[in-house]
Each structure stands twice: as C-alpha cells, then as structure tokens.
Structure 1
Amino acid sequence: MHVVGPADDFNRSLSEIIGAKIAEVERRVFPDGEICPRIVETSGLNGSNVILSMRMKSGGNPNTYLSEVLFTIRNLREELKAGKIIAVIPYFPYARQDEIFRPGEPLSSRYVAEMLEEAGADAVISVTVHLHRIKSFSDIFSRAKAVNVSGFSGIARVLKNRELKDPVVIAPDGEGIAWAKELADLMGIKEYGAFKKERDLNTGEIRTQLVEMDLRGRDVLIADDIVSTGGTMVNALAGVRKMGARRAIAAFVHPVLAPGAIDRILALADEVISSDTIEWPGSKATAVREVADAVKELL
C-alpha cells in the first residue's frame, strides 16, 4: 500500500497511521502554466492499493489543483497499473456550485465527481464538503465510493485547549448553521446561532444582518467551512465586536484565503484556527486522523 503525493507533514502523518509507504509526487509547472505531476518513485505501484493524497495550496488555483489530481489518477490507472485508487481531496473544488443558481450555469460539483470517476478513482475522501443543497457527498457520484469526514473535529481538539469564557458559536450566515451546531456539539457548548447573509449573485456583494444575541463579555467562535475572500468572516467578526464580544475566534476548515483575506481577518480576530485541508503555514488543526480512519474503512 502506498500514499502517493508530496512528502509533506500531512502525508507523512497519514502514511504512519495507515502503515503505508510514500511515493512522492513532483509538482512541475511549465512557464505557460501547463502542469506535469510526476510520481518520482514508481516501483511497487503495479497492483498496489494507492491513496492519492494531494492538497491545494492556499491562494492557489483550483483549476491547476484539479488537473493535477485528475492527471495523477489517470497515470496511476493507465500507465502504472495501480490496484484500488482512493483519492484524498481534502478541499473539494467546485463544491459550492452544487446547484444551477442562474440559467446557463454548469452543475460543476457533479461534473467534477464524474471526471474523477472517469479518471479511475475507486473512492474519494474529502473533508467538510460544501454541499448545502445536496443531501450527501455520495449523491454527486454514480460509481465511486464517496466519504465526507469532519474538519471541525480537529478544530475542536485545538479549541478545547483554550480557556473560553461563556462561549457561544456563531455561523457567518444561515447556511452555515450546521457548522455552528457541529462545532458547538463537539465542544459541549449549548448556545449557537447564525447571522443572516445576502449575496448579490451578479456583483458578489455581501450584506450581513446581525442576529439578536447578548454577547457582552463572552467568547465567540465564528465557525465556517470555507474562507476565500474573507468578506463573510470579516462582516461576522465586526458584528460580534459591536455586540460586545470579549474575544472573537475565527474557526474554519478550508483556508482558501485569496490575497489580503487573512490580513482583514486578523485585524478583527483574536485568533484564527483552521484545518490543514489546504497547504497553509498558519493552520493549527489537522484532519489527518479523520482521513486515516476513512481510508482504513475503505481498504
């Protein structure tokens, strides 16, 4: 059994837990932007069960990342004749497009699932997938086994080491209430809520309406799955500050973090806690334990 991917901390931990060797991937990019992900050590892959584990870089390009994953799966299947292929994709690209919001748009999340199956993935493991309008991660797949593990479990393990005063968990918008409840349950916090957010589908402008909640002197955990531009998180942080929060902690799973996002967040947050589903040096939590458990169940 092999873990195919960069020999980084995430994959070293994963390989140790499941008892696999690492077959390192070299992520080459040509001057024109074309990519050539090369598996450096190919011996032993023929017929071997393979866990392909590659993460997107924070602030990176999801198109490049998705191409790397698809090319490597196909390479493993067609050229290297690997056995069972489990693709670990901690941050699932295009998951937010889980519905056709305006006429003429693609149903991108389902198309990505189909491409992964066509490339040769037997199973796909992801973390806290953003599928609000689809009941289950497996619903967008037709053949491959799909497993969606929690990224908030690792965040909760970190937060339990913090001394929190009368904590409450708040989601930046109504769709994120499930994340607030999940983190609250993991932390044993009884109170949670959500802001109301409206987004203009044409301009992308975000308007946030404050919830009615007494936060004076309390520590607030703002829970979300993805932070990209940071606009939604910043609005929520500003809101809880106005409502008298003693401390405000931004807790999110996927640090996509477009340029400038983290600076805007740190201007209002006392601490930022994110998972390592994306390559970002500021991540304090890890989802490796949950991913490893899912791999063991699939093998």
Structure 2
Amino acid sequence: MIDRSEPKLISGNSNGPLANAIARRMSLHRGMSVSLVDARVERFNDGEVFVEVYENVRGEDMFIIQSTSKPANDHLMELLIIADALKRSSAARITAVIPYFGYARQDRRTKARTPISAKLVANMITQAGIERILTLDLHAAQIQGFFDIPVDNLYAAPVFALDVKHNFRGRLQDVTIVSPDVGGVARARELAKRVGCALAIVDKRREKPGEVAEMTVIGDVKGKTCIIVDDICDTAGTLCKAAEVLMEAGATEVHSYITHGVLSGPAVGRITNSVMKSLVITDSIAPTEAVQAAPNIRIVPTAPMFAQGILNTWKGTSVSSLFDTETLMPIYEGLYSE
C-alpha cells in the first residue's frame, strides 16, 4: 500500500453520476467526506481535449473514473490526457477505473487485414502512465493479457445473482438462465450456478455483423421464466430476436440481464416494443433520458462494488473478494433484503 492519507478520485465527462455515486459510497465507508478532485476537462473549439487539475496531487494515489463509452474516441482521449496531466503533476500512482472498456469487441483478427484495436488501446493506456486498471465484465477475458500492468476485472454476476434471487424469490425453480450465443455460455453458466437454476442456449448464425440469420434454442424452456444474460447490448436486435425465439419455444416470460447497456440507435424502441418483460442493465454507461424513461428497463448500481474495489486497491487487499455474492450483500444493503 502506498503510504497516503486517502485515495483521490478524478473523473472525466463520460459518467459523472457514477463517479459522484462512487465518491458518496466511499464517504460512507471512510466515515469522512470523499469528493472528486477539482478539475476541468473541456474542449478547444476544434474538439481537442484540454485538462487542468486545480488541486495538488503530488505523491497521491489517484483513481481516474472514466468509461470509454459513446463517444468512445472522445472519452478515451480524456482518459489518456487526464493520466498525462496527473503523471506530469507527480502523482505517486495512477489507476484507471473503467466501468465500460470500449474497443473490447475488437479483441482478435476475425478476418484478413483487420486490427486488434483492444491491444492498441491497451498500449495507449499503459504509455499514458496508468499503472493499474479496474474494470467490469471485459468482453473477452484475454484482454487482460494485452496489458503489461495489473488488470482487475470485476464481474456483474454476483450483483445480478442478488437481483435475481430478490426479484424472482419463491419461483427460482421455474427460472432458466439463457446464453444468447455459444460464446457467452461460460457467463450464463456462472450466473445459473450462483442462483441454482437450469441453463439453456440460443444458437445463432450470423450472415454479416449486425444481422442474425437463424436462431435455435438448445435446452428445454417450455413453461419456464427465461433470463437472458450477456455483457453488451448495442442495437438490441439480437436480444429482442432471442426473446421472441424463446417465447415461440414455450417460455412463459423472458427477462434480460446485460452488464453494459450501450443501447445505440433503435435499441430503446426495440426493447420497449419487444416481448421482454424487463431488461436489467448496470450504470457502467451513463443512461440516456430515453433509457431512464423506458418502462421495461431497470438500472442496477455499480457504485458500491467500485467503491469497495477502489478502497481494496488503495489498501493493498484482495479485489477478488468482490467476486463473491456473500461479500457484496453487505455493501448492497438496503437494495436487496432477505
């Protein structure tokens, strides 16, 4: 542990509400006021990012809270330039808290002459002076290996397990957890194991990105309450189609739990008009007004988990303890009661 009085938080413009919520949670944990470092992150007239930190950060343990969500390039540059400003101001250590890690879907070469953008972004973050990453549900676990610095990848599954047990109490025996594709089976199996439910898979075949040619349900979902689990929902086309296929296969109702609600383009409209009874997302990406107003979209907070993760990183204690549902229950007290 770095011998400093308190960890210091600074935020870009990507998710101000989450950054403030993390600061409030840390204030509760520390029994004293924890606020964001006073700084300005603005644009020049030509769109260049400008950062100025108004407080002394020399020798401090700094945590930058910044999702690289839409507009991804702008928010990524904010993260890099904030890190550079802190490094040149002699901060002792810089940790990037990235609730949503953009470019993670470009983690391998799927065909000739394509980039591995996730690796490029990892190099940029490391070169900016960031010494540690704290993130949530990376799209692919191997992205941790793209970094030459420590990466703590938290999971939404323990929080989702608390939510499922709370909202489906008394009928868990009729719940089936569903993976929307073969690649997400491990994620769905993990949640199914935590809540003690059966597992099914929706096998899909894509003809080209963004389009689904055919879907088949693997497993028995007749008469079941199906919960689709995935890490990212972008335009929601695949998700809504999967819900329809499950209903056609005999499911009584369909819900979805998605970590990162990108929800771009027609997504909110599709979800509102779909057969899904509810979509649960986290606040890793700042929700738009349309998302907040949607009647069947609900947001689960991540501030308690990130606040504890930051404190554990600062104190040099285990971050992996946050992988357990039992560990998270006390810090989510009041939200999920037994």
User: How big is the shift at 1:139?
Assistant: 0.7
The correspondence for 2:95, drawn from 80, 86, 110, is 86
1:167 to 2:175 alignment = yes
User: How big is the shift at 1:26?
Assistant: 4.0
The correspondence for 1:69, drawn from 72, 76, 79, is 79
Q: Is the 8 A contact 2:161 2:191 kept in 1?
A: yes
**TM-score, normalization by structure 1:** 0.88
1:138 to 2:138 alignment = no
Q: 1:148 to 1:46 in 2, by over 3 A?
A: same
Equivalence for 1:3: 9
- C-alpha distance in 1, partners of 2:95/2:132? 5
Q: 1:30 to 1:267 in 2, by over 3 A?
A: farther
Q: Is the 8 A contact 2:22 2:304 kept in 1?
A: no
Letter matched to residue 122 of structure 2: A
Equivalence for 1:113: 122
Q: Is the 8 A contact 1:195 1:208 kept in 2?
A: no
- C-alpha distance in 2, partners of 1:224/1:49? 33
Q: 1:44 to 1:30 in 2, by over 3 A?
A: closer
- C-alpha distance in 2, partners of 1:257/1:294? 26
Letter matched to residue 274 of structure 1: I
Letter matched to residue 297 of structure 1: N
Count of residues in correspondence between the two structures: 288
The correspondence for 1:15, drawn from 22, 26, 31, is 26
Letter matched to residue 87 of structure 2: R
Which runs of no fewer than 5 residues in structure 1 stay unpaired? none
Equivalence for 1:287: 302
User: How big is the shift at 1:107?
Assistant: 1.2
Letter matched to residue 205 of structure 1: E
**What is the RMSD computed on CA atoms of the aligned residues?**
2.2
Which runs of no fewer than 5 residues in structure 2 stay unpaired? 1-6, 293-297, 315-338
Q: 1:194 to 1:123 in 2, by over 3 A?
A: same
Q: 1:31 to 1:242 in 2, by over 3 A?
A: farther
User: How big is the shift at 1:204?
Assistant: 3.7
Q: Is the 8 A contact 2:38 2:55 kept in 1?
A: no
Task: Map 1:176-255; keep pairs closer than 5 Å.
Answer: 176-189=184-197, 191-201=198-208, 204-255=210-261
Residue by residue over 1:49-108, the C-alpha shift from the partner in whole angstroms, topping out at 9 and shown as x without a partner, is: 011112355xx2111111111111111111x22111110001111111111112111111
- C-alpha distance in 2, partners of 1:28/1:43? 17
Equivalence for 2:135: 126
User: How big is the shift at 1:32?
Assistant: 4.4
Which segment drifts farther, 262-271 or 10-19?
Answer: 10-19
1:155 to 2:152 alignment = no
Q: Is the 8 A contact 1:266 1:272 kept in 2?
A: no
Letter matched to residue 81 of structure 2: F
User: How big is the shift at 1:35?
Assistant: 3.1
Q: Is the 8 A contact 2:67 2:101 kept in 1?
A: no
- C-alpha distance in 2, partners of 1:122/1:88? 11
Residue by residue over 1:135-158, the C-alpha shift from the partner in whole angstroms, topping out at 9 and shown as x without a partner, is: xx431112x111100022222222
